[in-house]
């Protein structure tokens, strides 16, 4: 059976209109009740007394640096130390649009956050170059910059669903909140490579951060010259300390840890260095025992953000919008399909503009819930034909203890009481 999108949308639209009409009717009754209170004829309440309290007095003062409303104080990142280091996950279930606010952007810190004075910070470029150079931040800021919107995802995002034998009852943010999307602004790395001049034997670059553990990764020179950016700004303001202030590498679509924060050294070499992290934590072991090394792009993936884990649908048999995010480290999203019956049938969701290269794409689909158990799933396809796999398909490729680059379909079970929880389907 094929779930017809047009039929679903038509079926959902009518209840939505009824809901709006009912809401307007209740509002009119409330106003009428106020006007006739007491039963002895109309009671006229002065207009000033009927105004909301916020309209009766002048408001408070603003702040030098704006903050979210105090009524949104529960919308925060959550920290996990299950991996042995600090991981701050973004509450995707509370966000709309495709840009993650800087204060809610996910972050992973292997060695804490260093306190770096920008006037003393220097980027050194050396190795197989004609002119080894050092760049201070003031000099870098004089280069022409570009701004691009791209997602950033930790290689270990969604590890709980990759490893746990049973589906854990967590929020979306706690399950898969190690991904965010922002506008990054900085200097294309190609400018710097042209400045220093590359020798013929140059093939790789060892990228090192100025944190306590000297986090380092080896990256292919050709890719860095094509897409690499020395990022100085995020969403219009200077990088925050947890995002690598004053300077980080940014490689669109690649796993988060190669976007080295607190960047201070680029060594151009002829072969990878096989640093500690790239030879251990960020190497995937396949089902047959082989090793998948230097697997940089994050694969096509989608998540339903609403409704999602630990949320409750407030009204049975009502109209709801299923919405979520999709992205691919290899290009644009071309299609997202949604199932409400555990994958038995699928319908194409609407992709909301803009649909950008290696960035979050929003998708939505109207849904008329009949108050019965349901299993919601989304499946994304990118412009290269890559399709998000099922969990069983992903698990058949990797060893049981592998968890990096988990991009399997996320399923949410909706109970008759409207409660939503994580499930494997």
Summarize pLDDT for 20-50 with one digit per residue, the tens. 444 334 334 344 444 444 556 778 888 888 8
Q: Which of 20-34, 244-258, 310-324, 381-395 has the lowest mean pLDDT?
A: 20-34
What is the tens place of the pLDDT at every residue in 76-128? 999 999 888 999 999 999 999 999 999 999 999 999 999 999 999 999 999 99
pLDDT of residue 3: 39
pLDDT of residue 370: 94
Per the prediction, the chain carries an average pLDDT of: 91
Query: How far is 253 from 289, CA to CA, in rounded Å?
Result: 27
Ramachandran assignment for 342, one of left (phi > 0), alpha (psi -120 to 50 degrees), beta (any other): left
Dihedral, CA atoms, 282, 211, 174, 352, nearest 10 degrees?
A: -80
Vertex 84, ends 172 and 310: CA angle to 5°?
A: 15
Query: How far is 410 from 259, CA to CA, in rounded Å?
Result: 26
pLDDT of residue 39: 54
Q: What distances in angstroms separate CA 423 from CA 234, 376, 394, 414, one per listed residue?
A: 35, 10, 16, 10
Cβ atoms of 337 and 379 within 8 Å: the answer is yes
pLDDT of residue 243: 98
pLDDT of residue 77: 98
């Amino acid at each position: 059976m094929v779930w017809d999108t047009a039929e679903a949308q038509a079926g959902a639209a009518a209840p939505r209109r009824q809901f709006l009409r009912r809401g307007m009717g209740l509002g009119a009754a409330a106003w009428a009740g106020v006007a006739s209170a007491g039963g002895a004829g109309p009671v006229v309440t002065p207009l000033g007394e009927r105004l909301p309290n916020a309209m009766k007095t002048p408001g408070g003062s603003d702040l030098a640096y704006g903050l979210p409303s105090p009524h949104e104080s529960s919308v925060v990142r959550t920290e996990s130390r299950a991996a042995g280091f600090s991981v701050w996950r973004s509450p995707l279930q509370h966000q709309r649009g495709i840009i993650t606010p800087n204060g809610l952007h996910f972050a992973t810190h292997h060695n804490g956050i260093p306190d770096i004075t920008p006037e003393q910070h220097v980027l050194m470029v050396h190795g197989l170059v004609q002119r080894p150079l050092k760049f201070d931040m003031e000099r870098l800021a004089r280069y022409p910059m570009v701004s691009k919107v791209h997602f950033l995802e930790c290689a270990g995002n969604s590890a709980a669903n990759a490893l746990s034998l049973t589906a854990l009852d967590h929020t979306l943010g706690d399950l898969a909140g190690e991904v965010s999307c922002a506008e990054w602004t900085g200097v294309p790395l190609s400018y710097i490579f042209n400045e220093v001049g590359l020798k013929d034997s140059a093939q790789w670059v060892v990228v090192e951060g100025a944190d306590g553990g000297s986090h380092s990764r080896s990256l292919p020179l050709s890719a860095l010259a094509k897409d690499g950016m020395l990022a100085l700004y995020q969403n219009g303001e200077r990088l925050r300390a947890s995002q690598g202030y004053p300077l980080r590498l940014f490689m669109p679509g690649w796993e988060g840890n190669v976007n080295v924060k607190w960047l201070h050294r680029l060594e151009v070499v002829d072969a990878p260095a096989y640093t500690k992290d790239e030879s251990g934590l960020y190497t995937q072991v396949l089902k047959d025992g082989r090793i998948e090394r230097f697997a940089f792009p994050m694969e096509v993936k989608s998540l339903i953000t609403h409704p999602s884990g630990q949320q409750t649908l407030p009204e049975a048999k009502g109209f709801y919008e299923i919405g979520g995010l999709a992205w691919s480290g290899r290009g644009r999203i071309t299609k997202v399909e949604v199932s409400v019956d555990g994958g038995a049938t699928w319908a194409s969701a609407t992709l909301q503009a803009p649909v950008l290269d290696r960035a979050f794409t929003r998708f939505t689909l109207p849904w008329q819930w009949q108050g019965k158990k349901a299993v919601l799933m989304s499946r994304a396809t990118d412009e290269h034909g890559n399709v998000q796999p099922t969990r069983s398909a992903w698990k058949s490729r990797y060893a049981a203890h592998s968890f990096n680059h988990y991009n399997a379909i996320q399923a949410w079970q909706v109970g008759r009481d409207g409660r939503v929880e994580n499930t494997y389907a």
